[in-house]
Amino acid sequence: MSNEVSTSNAKLVYVLYLVGILIGITGIVGVIMAYVNKGDGPDWMDSHYQFQIRTFWIGLLYMVLGSLLFIFVIGYFIWLFWLIWLIVRCVKGLKRLDKGEAMPNPTSWMFS
């Protein structure tokens, strides 16, 4: 797979995650794309795909936890944290992707 195609696919996954804030199904499409493309490119690209896969699953955990605690006020704060967390992770990933850099800590729970 060419480097441009691989970069475009990873960029599309980040965009799908951001669109998923409004249209939830695009996040699922994004994680499927990340799983399919992982291992097809150079190691620095694989770090982005690993970061994206973890972003999806950790984000899903935050959303479920927020939903369970929705009857209490804390659920709203968990959802707000998830929203900010997702945007920051995607923006940081896009910036590093544009520079051709690997994610420094793709297994991180926070922002990288």
Q: Which domain holds residue 82?
A: 3-99
What is the C-alpha to C-alpha distance for residues 9 and 75, in angstroms, rounded to an integer? 33
How high is the pLDDT of residue 44? Answer: 87
pLDDT tens digits for range 13-60: 999 999 999 988 999 999 999 999 888 878 888 899 999 999 999 999
Enumerate residues 6+ apart whose C-beta is below 8 A from 27. 16, 17, 20, 56, 59
CA neighbor of 97 nearest in space, from 26, 2, 12, 35: 12
Q: In the numeric block, which tokens belong to residue 96? A: 């590093």
Does the residue 112 lie in any domain?
Answer: no
How high is the pLDDT of residue 49? Answer: 92
Element (H, E) at 112: none
The pTM (predicted TM-score) of the whole model is 0.87
CA neighbor of 21 nearest in space, from 71, 65, 62: 62
Does the residue 37 lie in any domain?
Answer: yes
Does the residue 105 lie in any domain?
Answer: no
Domain total in the chain: 1
Give the Cβ contact number of residue 107 at 10 Å: 10
Does the residue 62 lie in any domain?
Answer: yes
**pLDDT tier for residue 74 given thresholds of 50, 70 and 90:** very high
Q: In the numeric block, which tokens belong to residue 107? A: 């297994």
Does the residue 107 lie in any domain?
Answer: no
Does the residue 60 lie in any domain?
Answer: yes
Does the residue 108 lie in any domain?
Answer: no
Does the residue 109 lie in any domain?
Answer: no
